[in-house]
């Protein structure tokens, strides 16, 4: 078994906590601690030359395809009213910058009354976002959910690969009981302390009740002792806080997500937790804490329930590949052929990026889930629900 040395800052905290903390506390520290966390310190870099690539980090085509959808939603707001495009967890700021450019170019009247609002809790990331967005074509401001709740905006909110960075709880079946799984210190006295995953207290009755909806009330013989997975307790409070900042408009969540029956299938015996660094993937969450991205897929039923509890009305969902086809990916790909061969390397790299965005065994399998925060009287009313990416893709002939 791989040994995981505990860095001094983490060993100190684990000692102070009695030698064991729930996995969610560990994940929160490892990602979001302002000094030691991978995002909190700003250490993680998003992009093909950074730690991991996301759709917008591959180039401007993703934002260009998404822009008509956002414009449609923004246009459904009352005419003349000020609008906001709120991006939560903007990473490097790629998507915000590209969307601002696409809106300013394609919908100048709409752009003239739209501001960019960036919600980024990690100061280390916000520094780079400010640099990238310094000359963005829309006015920009950074804001916490709390500040936004004090003066809610109308418009569209995006959560692109953000909810997978919220700390998850781990649970493990011990053959008789469901228990919390946490991170503990171990090792010989005097030697460098090591980290390991260790079962803790049994789940209390309310937590057990929530397992029924996920098909886990009775683990059955197919889930042997040691079978472990994740629960997403951070989603409901996040969606509640996000909703308080949007007076009316839509939320688009984009992330890897599974239905509960797939997420919690017996054969998925160790959940979906993964670590990423310098374009490498690992299923070991305890190596070099604070230097790797840690991420867990979303469970669609848990997300829908948390969203509805937070006042969001579900509009629909699509896989990214289908959504992008509905928004014109095939036409964009075709259009590349008609461009001159002068910039061949750039054309080939855009072609590759477009194919990656829709590839069903890569980024195309991401889920797009749309929600609405019913406002006083948006001009589009229920019509806003009939969004481009929810329409059937054009036929292939």
Ligand X SMILES: C[S@@+](CC[C@H](N)C(=O)[O-])C[C@H]1O[C@@H](n2cnc3c(N)ncnc32)[C@H](O)[C@@H]1O
Closest by alpha carbon to 154, among 317, 384, 396, 341?
A: 384
Buried/exposed 168-188: b ≥16 CB within 10 Å, e otherwise:
bbbbbbeeeebbbbbbbbeee
The tokens of 229 are what? Answer: 């997975």
CB of 254 to ligand X, least distance (A): 8
Tell me how far the alpha carbon of residue 324 is from its chain's centroid.
Answer: 18
**CB of residue 39 vs ligand X: minimum separation in angstroms?**
4
Name the residue nearer to ligand X (CB basis): 60 or 200.
Answer: 60
Which residues contribute to the site for ligand X (CB under 6 A)?
39, 46, 54, 56-57, 88-91, 94-95, 119-122, 125, 160-162, 165-166, 238
Q: How near is the Cβ of 92 to ligand X at its closest, in Å? A: 6
Edge to edge, the sheet with strand 367-373 lists 140-142, 114-119, 83-88, 153-160, 246-255, 367-373, 313-319
Is the CB of 91 or the CB of 378 nearer to ligand X? Answer: 91
Q: Taking phi first (over 0 means left), then psi (-120 to 50 degrees means alpha), and beta for anything else, what does residue 188 get?
A: beta
Shortest separation between residue 9's beta carbon and ligand X, angstroms: 19
Judged by CB, which is closer to ligand X: 3, or 144? Answer: 144
Report, in Å, the least distance between residue 230 CB and ligand X: 16
Taking the least distance from each CB to ligand X, the nearer of 162 and 325 is: 162
Output 14 or 294, the one with its CB closest to ligand X.
294
Question: How far, in Å, CA of 43 to CA of 303, rounded?
Answer: 28
């Amino acid at each position: 078994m791989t040994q995981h040395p505990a860095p001094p800052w983490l060993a100190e905290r684990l000692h102070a906590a009695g030698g064991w903390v729930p996995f969610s506390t560990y994940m929160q520290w490892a990602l979001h601690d302002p000094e030691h966390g991978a995002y909190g310190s700003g250490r993680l870099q998003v992009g093909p030359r950074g730690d991991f690539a996301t759709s917008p980090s591959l180039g401007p085509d993703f934002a260009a395809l998404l822009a008509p959808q956002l414009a449609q939603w923004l246009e459904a707001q009352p005419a003349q009213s000020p609008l906001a495009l709120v991006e939560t967890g903007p990473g490097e700021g790629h998507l915000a910058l590209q969307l601002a450019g696409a809106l300013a170019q394609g919908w100048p009247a709409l752009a003239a009354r739209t501001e960019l609002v960036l919600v980024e809790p990690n100061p280390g990331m916000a520094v780079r976002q400010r640099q990238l967005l310094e000359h963005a074509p829309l006015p920009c401001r950074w804001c916490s959910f709390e500040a936004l709740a004090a003066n809610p905006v109308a418009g569209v909110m995006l959560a692109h690969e953000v909810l997978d960075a919220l700390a998850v709880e781990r649970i493990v079946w011990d053959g008789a009981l469901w228990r919390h799984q946490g991170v503990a210190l171990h090792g010989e006295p005097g030697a460098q302390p090591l980290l390991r995953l260790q079962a803790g207290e049994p789940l209390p009755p309310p937590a057990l009740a929530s397992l029924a909806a996920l098909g886990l009330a009775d683990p059955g013989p197919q889930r042997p002792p040691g079978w472990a997975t994740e629960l997403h307790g951070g989603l409901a409070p996040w969606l509640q806080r996000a909703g308080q900042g949007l007076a009316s408009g839509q939320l688009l969540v984009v992330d890897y997500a599974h239905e509960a029956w797939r997420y919690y299938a017996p054969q998925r015996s160790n959940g979906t937790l993964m670590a990423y660094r310098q374009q490498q993937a690992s299923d070991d969450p305890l190596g070099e804490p604070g230097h790797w991205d840690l991420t867990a897929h979303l469970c669609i039923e848990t997300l829908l329930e948390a969203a509805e509890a937070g006042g969001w009305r579900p509009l629909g969902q699509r896989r990214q590949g289908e959504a992008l086809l509905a928004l014109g990916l095939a036409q964009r790909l075709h259009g590349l052929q008609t461009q001159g061969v002068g910039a061949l390397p750039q054309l080939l790299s855009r072609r590759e990026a477009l194919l990656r965005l829709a590839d069903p065994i890569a980024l195309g399998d991401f889920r797009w889930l749309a929600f609405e925060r019913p406002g006083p009287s948006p001009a589009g009313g229920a019509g806003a629900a009939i969004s481009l990416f929810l329409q059937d893709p054009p036929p292939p002939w």
